[in-house]
Structure 1
Amino acid sequence: MGRSLAVLAITAALTVSCGSETAQPKAKAGGRSFTVAAAGDILIHPELVEQAAKDAEESGHGEAGLDFGPLLAGVKPVISKADLAICHMETPVGKPKGPFQGYPEFLVPPQILTTLKDVGYDTCSTASNHTFDHGLKAVRRTLNAMDEVGLGHTGSARTPEEAEQINIRDVNGVKVAHLAYSWESFLNPTPEKERWAFNRSSTDEIKKAEKRARAKGAEVVILSLHWGLEHYNEPSVPQLDMAQRITEETGVDLVIGHHSHVVQPIQKVNGTWIAYSLGNQVARHSSPTGLTEEGAIGWFEFRESADGWDVSARYRTTLVDVPPEVEPGEKAPKGAVVDHRVVDVQHALENPEGLSEDRIARYRLAEDRTRGFLYNRGAPGGDGLRQLSLHK
């Protein structure tokens, strides 16, 4: 009986998602528009550094023996298509030749930043529970490296003066501000004298930052939040409470969430889209769960209407291919994944030539499961969340 009801519920949700769309706000004559692509955590574990070394040896490209280009090439057609692409840079970077560290105190190759820029990212949030893994020196090194490759950033700062600045970008003639906040690590908290260098989650502080952004001319404000519980596919009560407060007490136009390392729902709250967690964009946890390899690229189209901004939401499922572990001297099964790669799942399923049945089944599982998690708070109904098609 319970199983039958669950099937009926899923069927109903999918039926609604294919039904008629809600009435659109009245368009503004000569109204502007732009698109935003956003994804989850960029978390470079040691296995991904090894992959970048292997790829550099084979390609002859990269810097200091590391090439992250092949790892992320699969999402470039989506990310580069957006007018504004936002990433979440989870960790500080070290020097090009290392040394590097993984969990729990990350220090990753700065070469990943060059690849993020090449993939099409314009700006990144840098507030996370790992921001201060190696202190203020590493924060400054990270932001310097992002400046060098042309990536914008928000959420951490090198000086008290920079901490007061607002990241505002011109996107198709629209001034768009990007803010970022996070809970703070208990392992490496920010020293009291350097508290200005890190944006701690606080609705009151977000309200103040939005006010500063509007005063500087921001017409749209996008907020990145590092929040929630790791490995839970449903938002926590504090997440839900904070989403309510932000959408009731601020004019923030879009909230992008991360930290859980798994996909959580996208939901419209009080008229504002909240992506509670987009999972991992790229990661290779020491014990992959399947869920930690799945992610989503959120795609949001802003259209100027007579009453402000109308925002529609789409998504694209991603998956990090993880090669099977084999003993020295043994060969991987025929058709198995050979390299770590971030896959555009929909593209892979539309172009399955050369893929084994097992890999096709894995991609279908990722697509179905991600859709289920994203839709779990009713967004495909009247709010119209759907999968993004690139064939328009």
Structure 2
Amino acid sequence: MQILSVCLSLAANLGCMQKVISLILALGCSVFVWAGYSPDSTKRESLTLMFIGDVMGHGPQIRSAFNEKTNSYDYDDVFTRVSPLLKQADFAIANLEVTLAGSPFSGYPQFSSPDELVDGLTNAGVNVLVTANNHTVDRGKQGILRTIDVLNKKAIPFAGAYKDSLHRDSTYPLILEQNGIRLALLNYTYGTNGIPVPKPTVVNLIDTALIRADYNKAKKLKVDEVIAFMHWGLEYQRQPNLEQIWLARFMHNLGIRIVIGSHPHVLQRMEASFDTDTTKGQVAVYSLGNFVSNQRPQYRDGGAIAAVHIEKIDGVTQIKDAGYALVWVQTPTVDKKKRYRVLPVAKYELIDGYFNDDDQQKFNLFAADSRAIFDAENYNFYEIGYRDNHWVLPWATDKRWAIKPLKRIVPWQKSIFYPPFVIFPAR
């Protein structure tokens, strides 16, 4: 009681009597808990980013999405099974590798998909698109303009292609802000299949001088982090080439700490280091593979979602964790019609009897191939687990569902994977 009297007297003398929430007495010790006060006064904010690979629109996909009864297109069934995972991201960013040029719709080699493809993506949780890729100019100037108009009408943020230089200057870099964290998204492509970009439209092409200028502009906009989503590399190659590696290192050295890649249509390795007292956080994902497509050969019938968790602690942004989820594209025949379904591997491998024998074999092969290359070459990327009917994000649980133990190293210091750094000359 003497301790209680002393504590209450102290509180009264401080003029804070009304702020005392509780007084805990244990083993002769007393602890005050004050309203509006936390013993840890650190200001901490966080967000989760998810990056999605190539969203293709081959002819069979377009025909599959058509509903003869309603005379309309519907892509919801394609993406609904991966939606619960995507909706755990604050920003889910996908590579839209088609134009929305309107009818007549077409697949390879000059892609134009129904607008409803974007509705299917956004309904599933995708909320940002990148549009600079080798198919951006497939349907010419009008294809670029209509794609932009559709995305603007649907209020979907995007980066990569623009109506003209004024449009680019006023909207690029794309600024994304959530939970007190402000990001800039950059997007570039290696080319447009040899088709000149029609004036006055603009498609961001990979150019180190341009990337540097865009990064400097982003920093003037007071962003916490800059992200680059690159369309690069060689198709169907499971290893990044030297240009990809050099560009990633160029951007990391510049200050672009999160670098994401697409285009090869197969998976390539993922690497991360995290902000600690002794290491600097950086991410390089060289190829996410196909998110959805009609490509069925080995290695091409699926892809991965890369997730990056960042925190802002007392005004300083830190890359804290990373993970991936494999996705496989199933093409079952339903009502005498070929369908497309994006299936998260970690969930559907737990469901006995879901696949027929042929699909089970293909599913297992994709999962084994993907895990084999990630197991051998990834650094600091966990596979996101699925347990007890929910997704287990690495940063949201103490349990780790990695295929093998985590490798806590700085990958870009390993000369076996990284040649001496060369700064690309401006061009």
**TM-score range, shorter-chain basis?**
0.7 to 0.9
Give the gaps of 5 or more residues in structure 1. Answer: 1-26, 325-330
> Normalized against structure 2, the TM-score is what?
0.74
Q: Structure 1 residues 267-276 or 164-173, which shifts more? A: 267-276
Q: Is the 8 A contact 2:270 2:381 kept in 1?
A: no
What residue is the counterpart of 1:341 in the other structure?
341
SS of the counterpart of 1:49?
A: helix
What residue is the counterpart of 1:84 in the other structure?
91
CA offset digits 1:319-361 (Å, max 9, x no partner): 111348xxxxxx99xxxx9632111111111223443354334
Q: Is the 8 A contact 1:317 1:366 kept in 2?
A: no
| Paired AA for residue 344 in structure 1 | P
Matched, 1:33 2:62: no
SS of the counterpart of 2:82?
A: helix
Distance 1:354 1:322, change over 3 A: closer
Q: Distance in 2 between matches of 1:277 and 1:112?
A: 22
Q: Structure 1 residues 343-352 or 32-41, which shifts more? A: 343-352
Q: Distance in 2 between matches of 1:150 and 1:316?
A: 27
Sequence identity of aligned pairs in percent? 25
Matched, 1:173 2:211: no
CA RMSD in angstroms, aligned pairs only: 2.4
Distance 1:28 1:152, change over 3 A: farther
What residue is the counterpart of 1:262 in the other structure?
266
| Paired AA for residue 226 in structure 2 | V
Q: How far is 1:235 from its partner?
A: 0.4
Q: Is the 8 A contact 2:304 2:325 kept in 1?
A: yes
| Paired AA for residue 177 in structure 1 | A
Matches within 5 A, 1:1-392: 29-53=42-66, 56-57=67-68, 64-95=71-102, 98-164=103-169, 165=171, 166-191=173-198, 193-194=199-200, 197-248=202-253, 250-268=254-272, 271-285=281-295, 288-305=296-313, 308-323=317-332, 339-379=339-379, 383-389=380-386, 390-391=391-392
Q: How far is 1:89 from its partner?
A: 0.5
Q: Distance in 1 between matches of 2:385 and 2:141?
A: 39
SS of the counterpart of 1:295?
A: strand
Q: How far is 1:377 from its partner?
A: 2.7
| Paired AA for residue 269 in structure 2 | P
| Paired AA for residue 99 in structure 1 | P
SS of the counterpart of 1:107?
A: coil
Report which of the two has the higher share of helix: 1
Distance 1:384 1:186, change over 3 A: closer
| Paired AA for residue 252 in structure 1 | I
| Paired AA for residue 87 in structure 2 | S
Report which of the two has the higher share of strand: 2
Distance 1:180 1:352, change over 3 A: same
Q: Distance in 2 between matches of 1:222 and 1:188?
A: 27
Structure with larger Rg: 2
Q: Distance in 1 between matches of 2:229 and 2:290?
A: 14
CA offset digits 1:1-58 (Å, max 9, x no partner): xxxxxxxxxxxxxxxxxxxxxxxxxx992221100111100111010011101xx347
CA offset digits 1:88-107 (Å, max 9, x no partner): 01121122xx2012211212
> Normalized against structure 1, the TM-score is what?
0.81
| Paired AA for residue 88 in structure 1 | N
CA offset digits 1:60-81 (Å, max 9, x no partner): 5xxx511111111121111111
Q: Is the 8 A contact 1:74 1:344 kept in 2?
A: yes
Q: Is the 8 A contact 2:159 2:187 kept in 1?
A: yes
